[in-house]
Amino acid sequence: MNQTISIQNVSKSFGKKVVLKDINFEIMEGRIYGFIGPSGAGKTTLVKMIVGMDVPDQGSIYLLGEKMPNLNMLQQIGYMAQSDALYKELTGKENLMFFASLYHLNKLERKSRIEYAAKLVNLTADLNKKVSAYSGGMRRRLSLAIALIQNPKVLILDEPTVGIDPELRLSIWNELLRLKNEEGKTIIVTTHVMDEADKCDYISMVREGSLIATGTPDQLKEKYKAHNLDEVFLAAGRLINENSSAY
Amino acid sequence: MRTLALIKRILLQIVRDKRTLALLFIAPLLILTLMNLVFNGKTVKPILGIENGSQQLIESFKEVDIVAQEYVDISDIEHAISKYNLDGFLQIDGTETTLTLLNEDPTVAKSLEMKVKQVISKEVQFKLTGTNQSNDHIQTNYIYGSSDTKIFDTFSPILVGFFVFFFVFLISGIGLLNERTTGTLERLMATPIRRGEIVAAYLIGYGLLAFLQTVIVVLFSINVLDIILVGSFWNVILINVIVAIVALSLGILLSSFASSEFQMVQFIPLVIVPQIFFSGIFSIEGMADWLQVLAKLMPLYYAADALKGVMYKGATLSEISNDLYILLAFAVVFIILNLFALKRYRKL
């Protein structure tokens, strides 16, 4: 199994606020990784640095062997931001076409990828509607389709299922699992929905800029003697609090 | 390729937005038409009340387009002026002559005062020499324009440049601002697009719109409003396209210092309005030295100079080339600053 992403001694602060503290992490090919943690824990900053939109203050990040940020590597990353970054005046199809034409794809590939991505998120029938007429869930789905448009090796999804109904959430997760199993894609998901975290191969709990616990869901449950991830999260958090109050 | 995709998207967005299209293409025509009507209104003849004036004097006043009305035994002049709706009152009492002016509008008052003085001095001369042969038959020649030149002719070229600057500044600035606030700019930065490609696409996309706008505004001004165009039509277009590039690059640059559309609009009194003062609508030569230096820092100063040169004075391309070079220098500086401003979103 190959290593896809390597995060080495990464720290980042905005002004005086330390957002990430000395993060070390390896991400293997063909696995789903979940970063869980409360809002403001530093998940999005970490994810943005993997994409190369931000640069660490210290340490470095390698993606497929290349040091980030690197423009050419962006062809290999499908990114879905936390907020839907869509052109509302345009139709769903026009949005897909626009983003598709930013990547190295020939005409035929572009067409088939648009069809594939739209079908995947169940938007084929609504492609010719303007995005301004889309519901919140539809916009989220279109964002996911855009993240998949260039058939990237790595998918980075920042809270992908917020505002999506349970049925669609299930189908999206099934598709993520299929992408992992059949196409060997590496997938990074941030979430604060614990039952989603259960579907990840590995989870890392992020709290106040540190990874407080990492492992498979079962390992974590065993380690903290918990029945579910909610309890793990609380237990791990308590441990941190006790340690810091001990100083 | 990526730039092309971005240009296509920008144009598509504008075409979908009917109100913005109207603002770009119809609003300037509307304002130009309105200004044309306002400035080309007929001048109203001033009305002068006279007490004890000779018939000869009243005739002379008529010749210089003053309506002279005779009154007798006026004791309260102020009252008479307001009662009879006069612009001034001339009271002749033997050798003593008193002119009272309403001075509601200084321009009317000044011109009335000048004319009255002229007529009276002519009267005096006539009485002294007994002849009416004054040498006032002066042949007047005009270097630019003619005796028919209206004030609107001299500043309509400035207005054309101003509209291009204003609308392109606002629309391109808000265009990029929307990309920032909706997160699409950040999303773009997660694709392999280069910062230079984004700036280029914005320049070309909105540049095309500005080109269209200029053609429409200039054609309308010349053919419908009858504004004079002595020089080449294509030079006017060239100047305006360069003005548009300056406005574009400034607009998208300043949009990085605004966090909402409202904040973008707040740049209008700071960036746009001062430029009007220094564009040549008001005489720059009469300003204090330091203000004249300030004028030379305004892109619209050079744009107005070039446009007035071509449209009113018939200047050739080589005569306005200095203005154009300076405008291009402004654009280059703004474009480079833009590339740095985008670094905030991705370091590459």
Distance CA B341, CA B137 (A): 65
Phi–psi pair at A91, nearest 5 degrees: -80, 170
Closest CB to A52: pick one of B13, B187, B346.
B346
For B117-151, give the DSSP string. HHHHHHHHHHHHH-------------SSS-TT--H
Distance CA B44, CA B346 (A): 63
Phi–psi pair at A189, nearest 5 degrees: -125, 135
pLDDT of residue B134: 52
Q: Which residues of B touch A144 (CB under 8 A)?
A: none
**Of the candidate ranges A51-55, B40-44, B217-221, the one whose mean pLDDT is the lowest:** B40-44
Q: Do B182 and A72 touch (CB under 8 A)?
A: no
pLDDT of residue B132: 58
pLDDT of residue A1: 64
Q: Which residue has the tokens 């943690």?
A: A37
Q: Report the CATH number that the domain containing residue A167 is assigned in CATH.
A: 3.40.50.300
Distance CA A24, CA A92 (A): 39
Distance CA A74, CA A65 (A): 13
Distance CA A50, CA A52 (A): 5
**Top-ranked range on mean pLDDT: pick from B151-160, B230-239, B278-287:** B230-239
Q: Is it the case that residue B288 has pLDDT exceeding 70?
A: yes
Q: Do B5 and A52 touch (CB under 8 A)?
A: no
HEC sequence for B202-231: HHHHHHHHHHHHHHHHHHHHHHCCCCCCCC
Q: What is the mean pLDDT of residues B93-110?
A: 84
Q: Do A90 and B193 touch (CB under 8 A)?
A: no
Q: What is the mean pLDDT of residues B299-305?
A: 92
Q: Residues spanned by CATH 3.40.190.10 within chain B?
A: 47-129
Q: Do A52 and B188 touch (CB under 8 A)?
A: no
For residue A160, say if its preceding peptide bond is cis, omega within 30 degrees of 0.
no
**pLDDT band of B98, cuts 50, 70, 90:** confident
pLDDT of residue A86: 93
Residue A125 forms part of a structural domain: no
* Closest chain A C-alpha to B175 CA, distance in angstroms: 11
Q: Is it the case that residue B333 has pLDDT exceeding 90?
A: yes
Q: Do A71 and B192 touch (CB under 8 A)?
A: yes
CATH 3.40.190.10 corresponds to the domain B47-129: yes
- The answer, for A98 touching chain B at a CB cutoff of 8 Å, is yes
pLDDT of residue B125: 79
pLDDT of residue B36: 83
* Cα A120 to Cα A77, A115, B77, B305, B312, distances in angstroms: 18, 9, 90, 59, 63
Distance CA B282, CA B155 (A): 10
8 Å CB contact between B98 and B91? yes
pLDDT of residue A111: 93
In the numeric block, which tokens belong to residue A142? 């279109």
The arrangement of strands across the sheet holding A17-28 comes to: A17-28, A3-14, A58-63, A66-67
Search chain B and give the residue with CA nearest A54: B346
pLDDT of residue A69: 84
pLDDT of residue B235: 92
* Closest chain A C-alpha to B187 CA, distance in angstroms: 6
To the nearest 10 degrees (0 to 180), the angle between helices A136-147 and A92-100 is 20
pLDDT of residue B245: 92
Q: Do B189 and A69 touch (CB under 8 A)?
A: no
- The answer, for A74 touching chain B at a CB cutoff of 8 Å, is yes
**pLDDT band of B24, cuts 50, 70, 90:** confident
B149 or B168, greater pLDDT: B168
Q: Which residues of B touch A52 (CB under 8 A)?
A: 346-348
Grouped pLDDT means (10 residues each) for chain A, 247 residues: 85 88 90 87 88 88 88 90 89 94 91 92 92 88 91 90 80 87 91 84 88 88 85 79 60
The alpha carbons of chain B give a radius of gyration, in whole angstroms, of 28
pLDDT of residue A244: 60
* Closest chain A C-alpha to B347 CA, distance in angstroms: 7
In the numeric block, which tokens belong to residue B330? 């402004």
8 Å CB contact between A47 and A34? no
Q: Is B96 exposed, middle or buried (0-12, 13-18, 19+ CB in 10 A)?
A: exposed
In the numeric block, which tokens belong to residue B13? 């967005």
Q: Is B75 exposed, middle or buried (0-12, 13-18, 19+ CB in 10 A)?
A: exposed
> Smallest Cα–Cα separation from A98: which of A156, A148, A146, A152?
A146
B328 or B210, greater pLDDT: B328
Q: How many domains does chain A have?
A: 1
Chain A, window 105-134: residues with a beta carbon less than 8 angstroms from a chain B beta carbon: 130
Closest CB to A69: pick one of B182, B191, B346.
B346
* Cα B109 to Cα A216, B89, B105, distances in angstroms: 91, 11, 6
8 Å CB contact between A148 and A78? yes
Distance CA A203, CA B178 (A): 36
pLDDT of residue A175: 84
Q: Is it the case that residue B323 has pLDDT exceeding 90?
A: yes
In the numeric block, which tokens belong to residue B272? 């746009």
Q: Which residues of B touch A98 (CB under 8 A)?
A: 5-6, 8-9
Range of the domain at A163: 3-84+153-246
**Which residues make beta-bridge pairs with A155?**
A78, A187
Residue A139 forms part of a structural domain: no
pLDDT of residue B131: 63
In the numeric block, which tokens belong to residue B232? 């080449």
Distance CA B218, CA A185 (A): 57
Residue A108 forms part of a structural domain: no
Phi–psi pair at B85, nearest 5 degrees: 60, 50
ipTM score of complex: 0.85
Average pLDDT along chain B: 86
Phi–psi pair at A173, nearest 5 degrees: -65, -40
pLDDT of residue A201: 92
Model confidence, pTM: 0.81
Q: Which DSSP symbol is given to B260? A: S
Distance CA B202, CA B122 (A): 66
Residue A141 forms part of a structural domain: no
